[in-house]
Amino acid sequence: MRLTTKGRFAVTAMIDLALRQHGGPVTLSAISQRQNISLSYLEQLFGKLRRHELVDSMRGPGGGYSLAKLARNVTVADIIYAVDEPLDATDCAGKQDCNRGNDGKAGKCMTHELWSTLNRKMVEYLDSVSLQDLVDQQRMRELHESTKSVLVDRRCGTQPAETTAAL
What CATH code is carried by the domain that includes residue 36? 1.10.10.10
Query: How far is Cα 46 from Cα 153, in angstroms, rounded to an integer?
Result: 40
Identity at 38, one-letter amino acid code: S
Report the DSSP beta bridge partners of residue 106.
Answer: 100
125 lies in some domain: yes
144 lies in some domain: no
Contact indicator for 65, 74 with CB cutoff of 8 Å: no
| CA-to-CA separations, 45 to 10, 72, 147, in angstroms, rounded | 6, 21, 34
Q: Which domain holds residue 93?
A: 5-131
What does the pLDDT read at residue 94? 59
This prediction has a pTM of: 0.77
Q: Could you read off the pLDDT of 75-108 as tens digits, one per residue?
A: 999 999 999 877 776 666 655 556 655 556 666 6
166 lies in some domain: no
57 lies in some domain: yes
Query: How far is Cα 83 from Cα 147, in angstroms, rounded to an integer?
Result: 36
